[in-house]
Chain A
């Protein structure tokens, strides 16, 4: 009875996972058909027979969405997530910008303070041209370097002004890659794990039933004597 309850609870969990799997499959199908439709629309409206396909792939492409796998809980079922490297980089960039913005203000304050204090001691006019050049060089080093990062957006393989349907296709594809696919794979992994548990529980139940049968036979034999 105890074994049966455990199996029932596992089956209940398994069926809820199956339901989620089917829903995710449906979502993936919808998103992908949206992607295909929009790519087809972009190809249809493309100038001079431009085809938005493999001919324009960047041979130096780098992934901007990468996978993160961690094992959740004691059951050690892998959980898949997608990380956007560009967003991470932008976040860090913003932090750097904030620091850079706050620094010059502080720097200016320091400069004004020191200028007030040292103005009499070392006026700018008294400096030699060599010293002035050195100061300029130091100031140039202090300024935050503005390096232009190469865009890794796949949309730019097809030019800077990609058509709207292609942008829509990208949005739908991102949705599929970030939300549906990792969840689908995680649910699949969890289903595999529950399947193993169900099979184990069924074996235990079968063993318990066999032991109970043996005991019953033994009791019958004793009674017959």
Chain B
């Protein structure tokens, strides 16, 4: 199925996940009044508990200790934090980079982010690294979009 060289050096899990885009520290370049408005909005939302502020897929997984940044001049991260400003091309290039790296064995990607690069995810067929779509805070697991279940349906002739 695969040669030993294909997987023996693969020791990391990569993550492409969503994260909060409304953070007070992210507004450092904004005007102080805008910053204050942001802070108040965040405080208000925190208490309202209606609008989800944070989508912490990456933080949640990194807490388990799978995050890794290589040393050297070109430090490579094994995770990509996607927020509302992240462009699809950046997600595509991160996906390509993670699937080409020889030290990554599993790529974890939020299902709704995978939808943004669906053509790229579906056309990826290599055994290593293997791609696993995971749910996120606001986007629960959808079996209809799961590539494994689509394969199952194909096998049973649906």
Q: Does residue B10 face the partner (Cβ distance < 8 Å to A)?
A: yes
Which B residues are in CB contact (< 8 Å) with A51? Answer: 20, 23-25, 54
Where chain A touches its partner, the secondary structure class is: helix
C-alpha gap A64/B65 in the complex (Å): 5
B134 and A32: CB pair below 8 A?
Answer: yes
C-alpha gap A154/B66 in the complex (Å): 9
Q: Does residue B117 face the partner (Cβ distance < 8 Å to A)?
A: no
Set A25, A55, A61: member contacting B67, Cβ < 8 A: A61
B54 and A29: CB pair below 8 A?
Answer: no
C-alpha gap A13/B78 in the complex (Å): 35
Residues of chain A in range 11-45 having any CB-CB distance to chain B below 8 Å = 14, 18, 21, 25, 28-29, 32-33, 35-36, 39-40, 43-44
A181 and B65: CB pair below 8 A?
Answer: no
B135 and A53: CB pair below 8 A?
Answer: no
Task: Give min CB distance, B58 to chain A, whole Å.
Answer: 7
C-alpha gap A29/B64 in the complex (Å): 16
Q: Does residue A117 face the partner (Cβ distance < 8 Å to B)?
A: no
Q: Does residue A185 face the partner (Cβ distance < 8 Å to B)?
A: yes
C-alpha gap A69/B127 in the complex (Å): 12
Counting chain A CB atoms within 10 Å of each CB, the highest count among B7, B60, B61, B65 belongs to B65
B69 and A61: CB pair below 8 A?
Answer: yes
Which B residues are in CB contact (< 8 Å) with A61? Answer: 62, 67-69
Residues of chain B in range 89-134 having any CB-CB distance to chain A below 8 Å = 105-106, 108, 127-128, 130, 132, 134
B10 and A69: CB pair below 8 A?
Answer: yes
Q: Does residue A115 face the partner (Cβ distance < 8 Å to B)?
A: no
Which B residues are in CB contact (< 8 Å) with A182? Answer: 106
Residues of chain B in range 1-26 having any CB-CB distance to chain A below 8 Å = 1-2, 4, 7-8, 10-13, 19-20, 23-26
Q: Does residue B31 face the partner (Cβ distance < 8 Å to A)?
A: no
Which B residues are in CB contact (< 8 Å) with A161? Answer: none
A54 and B13: CB pair below 8 A?
Answer: no
Task: Give min CB distance, A81 to chain B, whole Å.
Answer: 10
Chain B residue with minimal CB distance to A162? B63
Task: Give min CB distance, B15 to chain A, whole Å.
Answer: 10
Q: Does residue A78 face the partner (Cβ distance < 8 Å to B)?
A: yes
C-alpha gap A178/B61 in the complex (Å): 11
C-alpha gap A55/B62 in the complex (Å): 13
Known A-B contacts A67-B105, A77-B1; the reply to A155 vs B13 at CB < 8 A is no
Counting chain B CB atoms within 10 Å of each CB, the highest count among A29, A53, A198 belongs to A53
C-alpha gap A65/B61 in the complex (Å): 11
Known A-B contacts A67-B11, A184-B132; the reply to A32 vs B54 at CB < 8 A is no
A174 and B64: CB pair below 8 A?
Answer: yes
B10 and A59: CB pair below 8 A?
Answer: no
What are 11 A-B interface contacts by the 8 Å CB criterion?
Answer: A28-B134, A36-B56, A52-B59, A59-B69, A65-B65, A66-B11, A67-B11, A154-B64, A154-B67, A169-B63, A174-B65
Residues of A that sit less than 8 Å from B by CB: 14, 18, 21, 25, 28-29, 32-33, 35-36, 39-40, 43-44, 49, 51-55, 57, 59-69, 71, 75-78, 80, 84, 86, 152-155, 166, 169-170, 173-174, 176-178, 181-182, 184-185, 188-189, 191-193, 195, 198-199
